[in-house]
Chains A and B, each alone.
Chain A
Amino acid sequence: MALSREQIAQRVAQELKDGYYVNLGIGIPTLVANYVPQDIEVMLQSENGLLGMGQFPTEEEIDADLINAGKQTVTMATGASVFDSAESFAMIRGGHVDLTVLGAFEVDVNGNIASYMIPGKLIKGMGGAMDLVAGADNIIVTMTHASKHGVSKLLNNCSLPLTGKGCIKKVLTDLAFIEIKEGKFHLLERAPGVSVEEIIKLTEGELVVTGDIPEMNF
C-alpha cells in the first residue's frame, strides 16, 4: 500500500537526530513535527523568524504576532528565539540548519528540484524554498511518487522551472525511500506491500536496485 501523508511524515521523523535544528516546509513536512521520537530533542526553525516553534495555540493563546512560515498561528517552545528575516536566512543559507524537509512537484536524477511554479497555472512564488535547498546539505524531499494518472515525478530531467540545481540527495515518496547519487536514483526502502517492480514502473529516471530492498518500518 502507498503510504498515507501521516506515514510519510512518520518515516521522515525516523531521520531526526537528537539536537537537530530542522526546517519543515508546508504540507506533509509540517506533519513531521507530530512524530518526533520521545527520547530526542529537536528544534523547529520557521523561516519567517522563529527557532523553537511549538504546537498550535489554544483559543486563549492565539497571538496574531506569532505565526509560522505557513502563516498559521503557533506557539513558542521553551528555549525559543525570534529574529528578523535576514537573520533567519543567514541560518538557512549559512548551512546552520541540520535538516530541511520540503515538498516538490518533480525531482530528477541529477538532484534538481522543481517545486514552486507551473507556468500558466500556478505562479505563487518560491517563498524561502530556493534559499532552503541552496543552503542545506541535508534535505529530504517528500512527494507522491507519481501523479493520479500514473505519470512519474522522479524524472530524467525536471520539466518545470527549477527551485534548485543538484541539491537533492534524498526523496521519500508514498512508495519508496530513494537516494540520488552519481546521476541515478537508488532504491533504499519500499513502502510496506509495494513491490520493487511497481516502483520501477513509476520511476522515469534510472533506478538502481541493489539486493533485497527492505520494507519501511514503522
Chain B
Amino acid sequence: MAGFDKVVSSYEEAMAGLTDNMTVIAGGFGLCGIPENLISEIKRKGTKGLTLVSNNCGVDDFGLGVLLSDRQIKKIVASYVGENAEFERQMMAGELEVELTPQGTLAEKMRAGGAGIPAFYTATGVGTPVAEGKDERTFNGRQYILEEAITGDFAIVKAWKADRYGNLVFRKTARNFNPMAATAGKITVVEVEEIVEVGELDPDQIHTPGIYVDRLIQGTFEKRIEQRTVRPSSAQGAK
C-alpha cells in the first residue's frame, strides 16, 4: 500500500485481522446500501462471537442475516430487526443478545464515536425501556438521557464511488448509516461499485473524506430489493 492509496486486491485482504469477539459496525438500512460482499467474506471466514452494530440485521438469506445461520453473531445493536425469522428464533431462545436502540440515537452513537465524543444527551427514549440504567439530566426544563458513543474494531461500509485515496460518494438513500459507520471503525473497510483515479471526484461533492477509510475494494452487487412497490406506467406525470 503506497501513500494514500487504500485499494486492496481481494476481499480476504479487505477483512484481514478480523478475529473472534470483535465489534463490527455496518452501514445500510434494510437491504439498501449494505456491504454485501464484506458480509459474505465474514461468513466465509467463519469469525464468531461478533458484536454487530447495524440498523437492521438483514433477512434470512441476505445481508447480515447470513451470519446468523452459523451463529457468528453474539450480540446485535440495532433499531429494527423484524424481517428475519431465524433472528427472532435465536433472540427468543436467548442465543442472541439484542440491544434495541432508537434509530436516531444509533446514528448519533456512531457519529459521536467517530468524532471523539464519548457520550451525549438526548430526549429520545426518556421514560421508556431505553432509559433504564442511564443517567438522566434536565436541561431547560426538559429531561434527557445520557447515551454513550459506539466505536468498532471494524467498520464495513458500502459507497457508490471512490477514488483510490478513499474519498467516498454515496448514492441516494443507500447513504443512510454508511458515512457514520465509516468514521467509527478502528479499521474502516469500504466496498464500492466504481473506483476512479485520484482527482476525478469533485472535492465539493465528496461525502466522506478518505481520512476515515483504511481499505477500499471494488465489488459487484446484487442490491436486493426488500419491498418492490410500483405504480402503473400509465399513472406517470404526477410529481
Interface residues of A (CB under 8 A from B): 46-50, 54-60, 62-68, 70-74, 76-78, 82-86, 88-89, 92-93, 112, 117, 122-131, 134-135, 161-166
For A125, list chain B residues within 8 Å (CB).
Answer: 78-82, 100
Tell me if B111 and A65 are in contact (CB < 8 A). no
Residue B232, interface by CB 8 Å: yes
- What's the minimum C-beta distance from B205 to chain A, rounded to whole angstroms? 13
Identity of the chain B residue whose Cβ is nearest the Cβ of A124 in the assembled complex? B82
Q: Provide a sorted-by-A list of 18 A–B residue pairs whose CB atoms are within 8 angstroms.
A: A46-B173, A48-B176, A49-B176, A73-B227, A82-B175, A84-B177, A85-B29, A85-B103, A89-B103, A123-B91, A123-B98, A124-B82, A128-B103, A128-B104, A130-B125, A161-B128, A164-B128, A165-B127
- What's the minimum C-beta distance from B11 to chain A, rounded to whole angstroms? 21
Contact flag A134-B124 (CB < 8 Å), given A60-B233, A67-B173: yes
Identity of the chain B residue whose Cβ is nearest the Cβ of A128 in the assembled complex? B103
* Cα A64 to Cα B173 with chains together (Å): 9
For B83, list chain A residues within 8 Å (CB).
Answer: 71
Given contacts A49-B175, A64-B223, 19 further A-B contacts (CB under 8 A): A58-B231, A58-B236, A65-B32, A65-B173, A65-B174, A65-B223, A66-B172, A67-B29, A72-B227, A72-B229, A85-B107, A86-B107, A86-B180, A125-B80, A130-B125, A131-B102, A131-B124, A134-B126, A166-B127
**Which of A48, A56, A77, A128 is B229 in contact with, Cβ under 8 Å?**
A56
Identity of the chain B residue whose Cβ is nearest the Cβ of A132 in the assembled complex? B104
Tell me if B122 and A56 are in contact (CB < 8 A). no
* Cα A126 to Cα B228 with chains together (Å): 23
**Per-position binary interface string of chain B over residues 53-66, scored 1 when its CB falls under 8 Å from any chain A CB and 0 otherwise:** 00100000000000
Tell me if A74 and B104 are in contact (CB < 8 A). no
Identity of the chain A residue whose Cβ is nearest the Cβ of B106 in the assembled complex? A85
For B178, list chain A residues within 8 Å (CB).
Answer: 84
Tell me if A84 and B179 are in contact (CB < 8 A). yes
For A67, list chain B residues within 8 Å (CB).
Answer: 29-30, 32, 173, 225-227
Identity of the chain A residue whose Cβ is nearest the Cβ of B179 in the assembled complex? A84
* Cα A46 to Cα B103 with chains together (Å): 12
- What's the minimum C-beta distance from A20 to chain B, rounded to whole angstroms? 16
* Cα A40 to Cα B125 with chains together (Å): 34
* Cα A211 to Cα B236 with chains together (Å): 47
Identity of the chain A residue whose Cβ is nearest the Cβ of B144 in the assembled complex? A134
Contact flag A161-B104 (CB < 8 Å), given A64-B224, A66-B173, A82-B173: no
* Cα A126 to Cα B103 with chains together (Å): 8
* Cα A131 to Cα B126 with chains together (Å): 10
Identity of the chain A residue whose Cβ is nearest the Cβ of B103 in the assembled complex? A128
Tell me if A130 and B128 are in contact (CB < 8 A). yes
* Cα A30 to Cα B30 with chains together (Å): 18
For A93, list chain B residues within 8 Å (CB).
Answer: 104, 122-124
Contact flag A84-B30 (CB < 8 Å), given A54-B239, A58-B230: no
**Which of A60, A66, A163 is B128 in contact with, Cβ under 8 Å?**
A163
